[in-house]
Amino acid sequence: MSTWIDVSALDAIPRRGARVVKTALGCVAVFRTAEDSVHALDNRCPHKGGPLAEGIVHGASVTCPLHNWVFSLETGLAQGADEGRVATYPARVEGGRVLLDAAFLRGRVAAE
């Protein structure tokens, strides 16, 4: 059962940018693309732990600010020659508000 919770207005996140949401289990990065779709991913690059929310967002990808690994915002998979995956969480926009699935966020450690 999904438990959608309202975390903020969409406008609080810059286009082609991200903000973080703090949870008891670490930070989740919420990305907003140029087309206004939102994606929630762990804010941690699997390579050296870089904060993905600080990266450059292009298309539906983000480039880690530490060593330029590129991840798909949709699948969390590393692009190109790099290997690795960032956990992704359901996220959507409704009436200009960003909604995340709290049940998913809570269950993520168990799922790993």
Partner 1 sequence: MKQKLIVIGAGMASGRVLEHLVEQAPEAYDITLFNGEPRGNYNRIMLSPVLSGDKTYDEIVTHDDAWYADHGITCRFGERVAGIDRAARTVTAPGGEVLSYDKLLLGTGSNPFIIPLPGHDLQGVIAYRDLEDTERMMTMDAGKRVVVIGGGLLGLEAAAGMAARGAEVTVVHIMGHLMERQLDESAGFLLRRALEDKGITVRCQANSKQILGQDGHVRALQLDDGTELPCDLLVMAVGIRPNVALGADAGLAVGRGIHVDDQMVTSDPDVLAVGECVEHDGAVFGLVAPLYDQAKVAAATLLGQQAAFVQKELSTKLKVTGCDLFSAGDFAEGEGREDIVFRDPARGVYRRLVIEKDVIVGAVMYGDTADSNWFFGLIRDKTDIAEMRDTVIFGPAFQGGAPLDPMAAVAALPRDAEICGCNGVCKGQIEDAILGGATDLGGVRAVTKASGSCGTCTGLVEQVLAVTLGDEFVIPAAQGICGCCDMTHEDVRRMIKSQRLTSMPAVWQACDWKTPDGCHVCRPALNYYLLADWPLEYADDPQSRFINERKHANIQKDGTFSVVPRMWGGITTPDELRAIADAADKYAVPTVKVTGGQRIDLLGVKGEDLPAIWKDLNDAGMVSGYAYSKGLRTVKTCVGTDHCRFGTQDSTGLGIKLEKILHGAWTPHKLKLAVSGCPRNCAEATCKDIGVVCVDSGFQVSIGGAAGMDVKETELLISVPTEQEAIDVIRAVTQLYRENARYLHRIYKWMALVGLDWIKERIEDPTERAALIERFEVSQSIYRHDPWAEHVTKQADTYQPLANLSLEAAE
Binding site for partner 1 (CB under 8 A): 5, 7-8, 12-17, 19-25, 27, 30, 34, 48-51, 54-59, 61, 63, 65-66, 68, 70, 80-81, 98, 100, 102, 105-106
Match 């790993």 to its residue by tokens.
112
Q: Which is nearer to partner 1, 86 or 100 (CB)?
A: 100
- By C-alpha distance, which of 112, 88, 94 is closest to 5? 94
Write down the least CB distance from residue 95 to partner 1, Å.
17
Write down the least CB distance from residue 85 to partner 1, Å.
18
Chain center to CA of 86: 9
Distance in angstroms (rounded) separating the CA atoms of residues 97 and 9 = 4
Q: How many CA atoms lie within 13 A of 61 on its CB side?
A: 15
Write down the least CB distance from residue 68 to partner 1, Å.
6
